Amino acid sequence: MTMRTKTMELIAPCHFGTEAVLKREIQDLGYEVSQVEDGRVTFVGDLEAVAYANLFLRTTERILIKVGKIHAETFDELFERTKALPWEDYIPENGKFWVAKANSVKSKLFSPSDIQSIMKKAMVERLKTVYHKEWFEENGAHYPVRVALMKDEALIGLDTSGASLHMRGYRKLTAKAPITETLAAALILLTPWKKDRILVDPFCGSGTFPIEAAMIAANMAPGMKRTFLAETWDNLMEKRFWDNAREEAEDLLDLSVKTDIQGYDIDEQVLKAARENARLAGVSHLIHFQRRPVSELSHPKKYGFVITNPPYGERLQEKEQLPALYREIGQAFSRLDSWSEYLITAYQDAETYIGRKADKNRKIYNGMMKTYFYQYLGPKPPKRSRQEETE
């Protein structure tokens, strides 16, 4: 069995608290999940799965090929066990390789720069003996390695994505404190929202929630507008893997879908950026952006969804305004009494000023920041008649 056809383990990192959504996405793609841990899901696939996962998964940061898992309490152990891994299966003679990122939690080895340099030396020593060379030009394709140490166990993966997968290629302009595309998609997928339901984001900023929702509604693969590092790996990846994945993405795309997705903000400049981002994503016809404060949040129809990331006072002068702002949010929610509302915020007193305890609350890490995803669940809409659905 060649490297191109054998199955391997692929690692998909994600935001802490969104693992269940990513697991479901991977299973929906048709792959078997082998392990779910904090901040990552591991699954089984072949090299074609690398292309499909990069192109289609909305909620992962990158796709790594698992090279190995080793136990290392000393730098000698790290060196010898890294050297014992079959690096030649992945890295060709002219490949440029390095340890791009190392992180360490509750482990005896904790200096990222030392871990990186020792692992690089070990890889060089291994490849010297395999390729019978004393020196590597490293003028070919790039093969960055990432390692995560947890309680002296080092999980080592080869990064196939390159730029993080939250960089879909549409967000040229950002507002302050933006939410990443992968986290926005995960939060939408944590709700029961479907493409035929109303969705409003009253603090839309540069438009990430509405754009990700529109992409979900149109069945648009998130990676359609970008390239991936592993496309340059001629020794491993066949061009047809990427062609097949992109062809399938094109076939599944439905830009004629009818939606009611709205993004409001009080800042006209920010809305300009949101409109441009939506245009670049190819979904501007599916979203209505409008300048409107949260105090004027209303909608004539019932059973809609609010999904939003309101300000939570990064700066001191903003902090003083938070009680009043969250009271306004609470008042707006009470006017939409048959709606479901979801908001992610790091503001500890959100429920107090909204004036209502959330039905559900999920802890999610946005980078290193602990945030809460407050979920206010509205009634389910009555089942529509067949006639209504065909109208």
* Segment 335-376, tens digit of pLDDT: 998 999 999 999 999 999 999 999 999 999 988 889 999 999
Task: Count Cβ neighbours within 10 Å for each residue of 321-343 and write b for 16 or more, e otherwise.
Answer: ebeebbebbbebbeebeebbbbb
Residue 87 pLDDT > 70: yes
- Pairwise CA distance, residues 119 & 131, whole Å: 18
In this structure, the number of other CB atoms found within 10 A of the CB of residue 81 comes to 18
For residue 4, is pLDDT > 70?
no
Question: Could you tell me the pLDDT band of residue 304, with boundaries at 50, 70 and 90?
Answer: very high
Is the pLDDT confidence value at 388 over 50? no
The overall average pLDDT reported for the chain is 94
Give me the pLDDT at residue 177, please. Answer: 61
pLDDT band at residue 317, thresholds of 50, 70 and 90?
Answer: low
Residue 389: band (very low, low, confident or very high) from pLDDT cuts 50, 70, 90: very low
Task: Indicate if the pLDDT at residue 84 is higher than 60.
Answer: yes
pLDDT of residue 107: 97
Question: pLDDT band for position 334 (50/70/90)?
Answer: very high
> What's the confidence (pLDDT) of residue 1?
57
Q: Could you tell me if residue 17 is left (phi over 0), alpha (psi between -120 and 50 degrees) or otherwise beta?
A: left
**3 state DSSP class of 269:** helix
pLDDT score, position 238: 96
* pLDDT at 167 (0 to 100): 95
Q: What is the pLDDT of residues 102-123, one digit of tens each?
A: 999 999 999 999 999 999 999 9
Predicted TM-score (pTM) of this structure: 0.94
| 296 three-state secondary structure | helix
* Crossing angle of helices 181-189 and 19-28, rounded to 10°: 80
Beta strands in 192-267 (DSSP E): 198-201, 260-265
